[in-house]
Amino acid sequence: MLNRTIAPAFRQVNEINFIKPTANNLANGIPVYTINAGETELVRVEFIFANVNWDLSKPLQAVAVNSLINNGTLNLTAKEIAEKVDYYGAFLQTDYSADHTTITLYSLTKHLSSVLPIVWSILNESIFPQQELDIYKQNQKQKLQVSLQKNDYLARKHFAHAIFGNTAYGSDINLADYDHLLQQDLLAHYKAAFQPKNCTIVVAGKFLEQDFKILDTVFGSSWQNQASFTKNEFVFTAHKSREIYIEKPEALQSAIRMGNLSINRSHQDFPSLQILNCVFGGYFGSRLMNNIREDKGYTYGIGSGIASLKHAGYFFLATEVGADVCEKALIEIEKEINLLRTDLIADEELDLVKNYMLGSLLGSLENAFSHADKFKNIYFAGLDYNYYDNYIATVKNITAEQLKVIANQYLDWNAMTRVVVGKK
């Protein structure tokens, strides 16, 4: 008779294999990192540009250039660009993040020679038509109006501004900022921000030598540096924590976001802090979830994390809770933070978190794309694969005592800026 009360035997994950990229250069010097893996005949090519020329008086300039870069070139209209990309079953994405602007092409490998020239034209010949800019401004302002009615959006916006001030990480965007976007500014920023000298190409998928040749033919010679720029550099100092309360009398739920400046991936304590964060609010079984969702039922979800940016790191916690239980939820959050500072994490809980994190790392290496993502994490933080060896060793070996020290060093309710949007 089967005894269902006894758990089957299991093993901790022991071996985690990273596929490391091969490094090449295009003729004009652009580094190309390739993860050639996978059975399927498809490929992802990312053109990653370090952000440059941050200008507080034009906070939307870089974002707008990124959004409009595929909206018209010397020879192609916005619609023609989209039609060509779609015709080959490809996907073209433009993403703007705190440190990088990325143009991503997903394509069947066999169509690379047809679609890469479209990307070339976007990176070299975009003209930012006035009409497209006008439509963009109008529609983005409308989208922002909708976002401004969302409590979680407001909490994010005010939190980032409180932590990072008027930098690319925290600038407080308002409707009027869209009115100040000018075509000539976008063109000037475009010329500076998309050049071989601030570009890194990361390729993942089925990508053989002949495909590299195609890439080099399209981008290696007919794309040259032409303008100077200043790379974005920011220095942050921790300042006094703030409480920000934005009252919404009609709110059914309050959005809570809190946290503080912290360390980023390049700091030696980062893996330890990630483990502590996992215990606290980093997975479904975390203390925050167990207490505030699974025990009290105050929320649909609560979580915490550490974001690693190029020039800073920050710790944050976010949730949306019933407006009537907002104060109670805040008290519980404070309690959970203090517990990590005063009490040792029990062995059973720590073992579980260690196993969970190793399984989660293994599972996050699903395909060529995810191996490339792991490479980007370290590459853009100035690290190498030793980072992952150290991470795995830290997860396996860290003790409850060490985590208590980390908690006292990095987790402090009183140091956190706390934003509540809704009702208290």
Partner 1 sequence: MINFNRFTLANGLKVLVHEDKTTPMAVLNILYDVGARDEEEGRTGFAHLFEHLMFGGSINIPSYDEPLQRVGGENNAFTSNDITNYYITLPAANIETAFWLESDRMLSLAFSEKSLETQRNVVCEEFKQRYLNQPYGDVWLKLRPLAYQTHPYRWATIGQDLAQIENAKMEDVKAFFKKHYNPQNAILVVGGNVDTYEVKALAEKWFEPISAGEKYVRNLPKEPEQTVVRSLTVNADVPLNAIYMAFKMPARLDANYQVFDLLSDILSQGQSSRLFNSLLKEQQLFSEINAYITSSLDEGLFIVDGKLVEGVAIEQAEAAIWAELNKIASELVSENELTKVKNKSESIMVFSEMSLLDKAMNLAFYELLGDADLLNVEINKYLSITADQIRSVAQETFKKEKSSTLYYLANA
- The footprint of partner 1 on residues 352-391 (CB under 8 A) is 352-353, 355-356, 358-360, 362-363, 366-367, 369
- Find the shortest distance in angstroms from Cβ 101 to partner 1: 18
**14 vs 414 by CB, closer to partner 1:** 14
- The residues, ordered by sequence, that sit 6+ positions from 398 with a Cβ below 8 Å of its Cβ are 272, 275, 350, 354
Contact window for partner 1 (CB under 8 A) among 49-57, 113-121, 256-264, 287-295: 287-295
Q: Closest CB to partner 1 among 163 and 329?
A: 329
Q: Are 398 and 268 in contact (CB under 8 A)?
A: no
C-alpha–C-alpha distance, residues 239 and 392, integer Å? 33
Q: Which residue has the tokens 């479209």?
A: 118
305 CB burial (10 A radius; 0-12, 13-18, 19+): middle
CB of 206 to partner 1, least distance (A): 11
Shortest approach of partner 1 to residue 209 CB, angstroms? 22
Does residue 419 touch partner 1 according to CB under 8 A?
A: no
The span of 147-155, 159-167, 227-235, 337-345 binding partner 1 (CB under 8 A) equals 147-155
Query: What secondary structure letter does DSSP report for 35?
Result: E
Binding mask 204-243 for partner 1 (x = CB under 8 A): ----------------------------------------
C-beta of 367: minimal distance to partner 1 in Å? Answer: 5
Instruction: Determine the 3-state secondary structure of 255 from DSSP.
Output: strand
Smallest Cα–Cα separation from 271: which of 342, 335, 361? Answer: 361
Report d(CA 145, CA 137) in Å as an integer.
12
335 HSE (CA, 13 A, CB side): 10
Which of 25, 55, 56, 87 binds partner 1 (CB under 8 A)? It is 87
The two structure tokens encoding residue 341: 């500072």
The residues facing 100 across adjacent strands are: 50
How far apart are CB 264 and partner 1 at their closest, in Å? Answer: 25
Q: Least distance to partner 1 from the beta carbon of 12, Å?
A: 7
Taking the least distance from each CB to partner 1, the nearer of 41 and 95 is 41
Comparison of 32 and 85: residue with beta carbon closer to partner 1: 85
Q: Are 380 and 310 in contact (CB under 8 A)?
A: yes
Round to whole Å and give the CA distance between 38 and 93: 22
The reply to whether 149 sits near partner 1 by the rule CB under 8 A is: yes
Is 75 one of the binding residues for partner 1 (CB under 8 A)? no
Smallest distance from the beta carbon of 165 to partner 1, in angstroms?
28
| Binders in 150-209 for partner 1, by CB under 8 A | 150-151
Among 90, 112, 306, 345, binds partner 1 (CB under 8 A): 90
Distance between CA atoms of 70 and 146, rounded to whole angstroms?
25
Cα separation, 238 vs 162, in Å, equals 11
321 binds partner 1 (CB under 8 A): yes
Encoded tokens for 195: 């050049």
β-bridge partners, 106? 44, 91
Q: 20, 79, 180, 213: which one contacts partner 1 (CB under 8 A)?
A: 79
